[in-house]
Amino acid sequence: MFDEIYPDDVAQWVDDGAQLVDVREAWEFGAGHVPGAVNIPLDELIGRIGELREPLVLVCASGNRSGMAAQYLTGRAGFQKVANLVGGTYLWVARGKPLQKPGETDPQTSFRTV
């Protein structure tokens, strides 16, 4: 079982040491992602499972792909502390949260902004 969280919950998970993983395709990630997230596309997840650590917050555009990843990780791969960002980057932006682009290190692009 995994947690379903909302944009305002992400900061607490990160404070608790969560890794943010965006499971969208590289081109989607490159257009903007939750600040601090790393990109491991869904179709690469199983092969790159060694790069994951708990606690873990999974993100995609809408919460669908990240939900599938969360289900796999908790149901078959033995992960226990996993969260799916409900609404993904769509809800993130709708709630006024900024997106970060690869290579951007501007402190204004924090998930705590707004």
Cβ(10)–Cβ(113) below 8 Å: no
What are the residue numbers of the active site?
Answer: 60
Q: What is the identity of the amino acid at 65?
A: R
Three-state DSSP at 76 gives: coil
Separation of alpha carbons 84 and 3, rounded Å: 6
Angle at 10 between CA 5 and CA 16, to 5 degrees: 110
